[in-house]
């Protein structure tokens, strides 16, 4: 009888292990592997509904203006030999100022089009990288900003060495916000003057835990841990180590954190956690009734005013 129970127990354990491996590989394919279409958590229609006609016209004009530009396509080779590409828009003002705009999860550089005109009008050259595993850049997995932070060190170096930029700002949305926050913990050259992070998450593990709850109504344990191990094997990082929260503790650059108070994709509380943990000079703006990365849509004029003030404070 005991032998039978041991056999049955072993079979059940085996089934559970196989199920977890299958589940982990499924979630790797959905969340980490390049090219998979994912329907993210949608926000209520009432959120983001307060944009004025003026705000909408500013954004519409900016997007139209960008569509008429022809950025130079430039590239770097990553630390792990991937070819990464970016669009580069040189400003005729030739001020030595540049911004790197970091797009969100499964986006491309084109999704940052609404911000390009703002920075260009303020005298900036604009660099728009496609993150590894996105757009025209190589890579078979999404790094959620973790490996990308090392790519950004190379983009920064390129701007300094090739384009003689002496005042550089990093500005990211969503995953791009987490990316620039993760970059903030690295040793950055003096030419990097400040960082803007809109709707960034604290850690990859906490963000995916949140998404498992909202998208799949599942507890994170044990499937998230299994997926993390699979990600380490296939992509080279654990979810737990990919932490913007730990990186900002080492930050020494002026930091502007922006977040909507109605963000259900990346909880607003994460902005408060990041702000509290961050080193260096820092500002926090929580935007009323703005959903995920929608602060610029909901409060366009105030967004621009606050951003100009931040830039005036950090630039020579």
Name the residue with higher pLDDT: 5 or 65. 65
User: What's the whole-number mean pLDDT along residues 90-119?
Assistant: 97
Q: Which residues contact 191 (CB under 8 A, 6 or more apart)?
A: 156, 159, 160, 165, 166, 167, 168
13: confidence class by pLDDT, cuts 50, 70, 90: very low
Percent of the chain with pLDDT over 90: 79
189: confidence class by pLDDT, cuts 50, 70, 90: very high
218: confidence class by pLDDT, cuts 50, 70, 90: confident
**CA separation for the pair 32, 99 (Å, rounded):** 27
Domains and CATH numbers, the chain: 1-31+205-240 (no CATH), 51-203+242-314 (3.40.50.1820)
pLDDT at 23: 61
**CA separation for the pair 86, 148 (Å, rounded):** 13
Name the residue with higher pLDDT: 118 or 35. 118
Name the residue with higher pLDDT: 215 or 259. 259
User: What's the whole-number mean pLDDT along residues 105-111?
Assistant: 96
pLDDT at 316: 84
Name the residue with higher pLDDT: 25 or 73. 73
User: What's the whole-number mean pLDDT along residues 30-45?
Assistant: 69
pLDDT at 31 over 60: yes
180: confidence class by pLDDT, cuts 50, 70, 90: very high
pLDDT at 7 over 60: no
27-61: b (≥16 Cβ within 10 Å) or e: bbeebbbeeeeeeeeebeeebbeebeeebeebbee
pLDDT in tens, 40-90: 555 665 555 567 788 889 999 999 999 999 999 999 999 999 999 999 999
pLDDT in tens, 241-252: 999 999 999 999
User: What's the whole-number mean pLDDT along residues 91-108?
Assistant: 97
16: confidence class by pLDDT, cuts 50, 70, 90: very low
Q: Which of 22-26, 263-267, 286-290 has the lowest mean pLDDT?
A: 22-26
pLDDT at 17: 47
pLDDT at 86: 98
Q: What is the CA radius of gyration of the chain?
A: 21
**CA separation for the pair 155, 186 (Å, rounded):** 14
**CA separation for the pair 239, 225 (Å, rounded):** 8
**Residues constituting the chain:** 316
pTM for the model:
0.92
CB 125 within 8 A of CB 96: no
pLDDT at 166: 97
27: confidence class by pLDDT, cuts 50, 70, 90: confident
pLDDT in tens, 118-139: 999 999 999 999 999 999 999 9
pLDDT at 177 over 90: yes
pLDDT in tens, 274-308: 999 999 999 999 999 999 999 999 999 999 999 99
**CA separation for the pair 130, 87 (Å, rounded):** 8
Q: For all residues of the chain together, what is the average pLDDT?
A: 90
């Amino acid at each position: 009888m005991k032998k039978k129970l041991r056999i049955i127990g072993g079979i059940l354990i085996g089934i559970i292990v196989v199920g977890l491996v299958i589940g982990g590989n499924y979630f790797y394919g959905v969340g980490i592997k390049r090219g998979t279409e994912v329907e993210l958590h949608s926000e209520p229609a009432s959120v983001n509904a307060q944009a004025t006609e003026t705000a909408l016209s500013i954004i519409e004009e900016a997007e139209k203006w960008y569509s008429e530009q022809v950025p130079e396509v430039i590239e770097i080779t990553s630390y792990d030999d991937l070819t990464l590409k970016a669009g580069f828009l040189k400003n005729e003002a030739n001020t030595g100022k540049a911004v790197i705009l970091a797009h969100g999860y499964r986006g491309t550089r084109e999704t940052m089009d609404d911000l390009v005109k703002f920075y260009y009008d303020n005298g900036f050259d604009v660099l728009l990288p496609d993150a590894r595993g996105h757009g025209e850049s190589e890579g078979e997995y999404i790094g959620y900003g973790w490996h990308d932070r090392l790519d950004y060190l190379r983009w920064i170096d390129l701007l300094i060495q090739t384009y003689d930029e002496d005042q550089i700002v990093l500005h990211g949305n969503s995953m791009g916000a987490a990316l620039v926050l993760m970059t903030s913990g690295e040793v950055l050259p003096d030419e990097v003057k400040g960082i803007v992070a809109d709707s960034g998450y604290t850690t990859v593990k906490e963000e995916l835990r949140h998404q498992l709850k909202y998208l799949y109504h599942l507890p994170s344990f044990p499937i998230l841990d299994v997926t993390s191990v699979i990600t380490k094997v296939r992509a080279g990082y654990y979810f737990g180590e990919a932490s913007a929260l730990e990186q900002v503790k080492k930050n020494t650059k002026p930091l502007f954190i922006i977040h909507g108070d109605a963000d259900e994709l990346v909880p607003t509380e994460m902005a408060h956690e990041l702000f509290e943990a961050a080193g260096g000079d820092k500002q926090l703006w929580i935007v009323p009734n703005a959903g995920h990365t929608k602060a610029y849509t909901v409060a366009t004029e105030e967004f621009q005013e606050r951003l100009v003030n931040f830039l005036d404070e950090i630039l020579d």
